[in-house]
Amino acid sequence: MKDGKTRPKMPTFLGLHAQPSRPLQVMLALLPFIALVCVYLGVSEMRYRNNPADKVVPTLGKMAEGVNQVAFTEDKRTGKVLLWDDTLSSLKRLGTGIGCAAVLALLAGLNMGLFPGVRNLSLAFITFVSIIPPLAILPILFIVFGVEETAKVVLIFIGTFPMITRGVYLAARKIPTEQIFKALTLGASQFAVAYRIVLPQIMPCLIDSTRLSLGAAWLFLIASEAIASTDGLGYRIYLVRRYLAMDIIIPYVLWITLLGFLFDRLLQAWISKRYSWYLVTKE
| pLDDT for 283 | 58
Can you give the residue range of the structural domain that contains 218? 82-282
Please state, in angstroms and rounded to a whole number, the distance separating the CA atoms of residues 235 and 147: 13
Q: Are residues 124 and 179 in the same domain?
A: yes
| pLDDT for 89 | 94
| Dihedral of alpha carbons 226, 209, 95, 111, sign | positive
Q: Are residues 143 and 275 in the same domain?
A: yes
- pLDDT tens by residue, 191-202: 899 899 999 999
Is residue 69 domain-resident?
no
Q: Summarize the confidence of residues 35-61 as an average pLDDT.
A: 88
Is residue 166 domain-resident?
yes
- Per-residue b or e along 152-184, where b marks 16 or more CB atoms closer than 10 Å to that residue's CB: bbbbbbbbbbbbbbbbbbebbeebeeeebeebe
| pLDDT for 4 | 55
Q: Are residues 40 and 89 in the same domain?
A: no
| pLDDT for 83 | 93
Please check whether residue 58 is in contact with residue 250, taking contact to mean a CB–CB distance below 8 angstroms. Answer: yes
Q: Say if residue 224 is exposed, middle or buried (CB neighbours under 10 Å; 0-12, 13-18, 19+).
A: buried
Q: Summarize the confidence of residues 34-40 as an average pLDDT.
A: 93
Q: Are residues 109 and 19 in the same domain?
A: no
Q: Could you count the other beta carbons within 10 Å of the beta carbon of residue 282?
A: 11
Q: Say if residue 72 is exposed, middle or buried (CB neighbours under 10 Å; 0-12, 13-18, 19+).
A: exposed
Q: Are residues 38 and 98 in the same domain?
A: no
- pLDDT tens by residue, 211-270: 999 999 999 999 999 888 888 999 999 998 888 889 899 999 999 999 999 999 999 999
- Range in 92-101, 148-157, 236-245 the model is least confident about: 236-245
Q: Are residues 208 and 115 in the same domain?
A: yes
Is residue 142 domain-resident?
yes
Q: Are residues 230 and 132 in the same domain?
A: yes
Is residue 207 domain-resident?
yes
Q: Are residues 41 and 152 in the same domain?
A: no
Is residue 4 domain-resident?
no
Q: Are residues 24 and 119 in the same domain?
A: no
Q: Are residues 40 and 90 in the same domain?
A: no
Q: Are residues 123 and 237 in the same domain?
A: yes
Given a cut of 80, is residue 14 above it in pLDDT? no
Is residue 64 domain-resident?
no
Q: Tell me how many domains the chain contains.
A: 2
- Rounded to the nearest 10 degrees, what angle do helices 82-114 and 246-274 cross at? 40
Q: Summarize the confidence of residues 5-29 as an average pLDDT.
A: 75
Given a cut of 80, is residue 281 above it in pLDDT? no
Is residue 47 domain-resident?
yes
Which amino acid, one-letter code, is at 57?
A: V
CATH at 127: 1.10.3720.10
Which amino acid, one-letter code, is at 189?
A: S
Is residue 62 domain-resident?
no
| pLDDT for 211 | 95
| pLDDT for 168 | 95
| pLDDT for 59 | 87
Beta carbons within 8 Å of 7's beta carbon, 6+ residues apart: 1
Please state, in angstroms and rounded to a whole number, the distance separating the CA atoms of residues 173 and 190: 15
